[in-house]
Amino acid sequence: MAKRAHVYISGRVQGVCFRMATAEAARRLGLNGWVRNRRDGRVEAVFEGEPGAVDRMVEWCRQGPPHAHVETVLDVGGDETPEGLTGFQVRESV
């Protein structure tokens, strides 16, 4: 059964290649979903896939790429049902 995580990452997470690094890490774990910057300075991401891989990805977000400084990772997707997303996309900012 697939799991879904919907996270908001705060801190110094824009301008440090966070989206690209997130996409690479998610693809390596075989996850589907997307990542995007938000105008408020946070990064938002959705991960779908095998529960252990989703958990590892959320844990990865707590550190991020080398130049990031993550302050908080808020997972708002605890009750969200996986949509059956395919592939992993870097989306436009909102």
Residues with a catalytic annotation lie at: 19, 37
User: CB atoms < 10 A from the CB of 38, how many?
Assistant: 15
Which residue carries 């977000």 as its tokens? 61
- Joined together, the tokens standing for residue 92 give 């436009």
84, with CB counted inside 10 A (0-12, 13-18, 19+), is: exposed
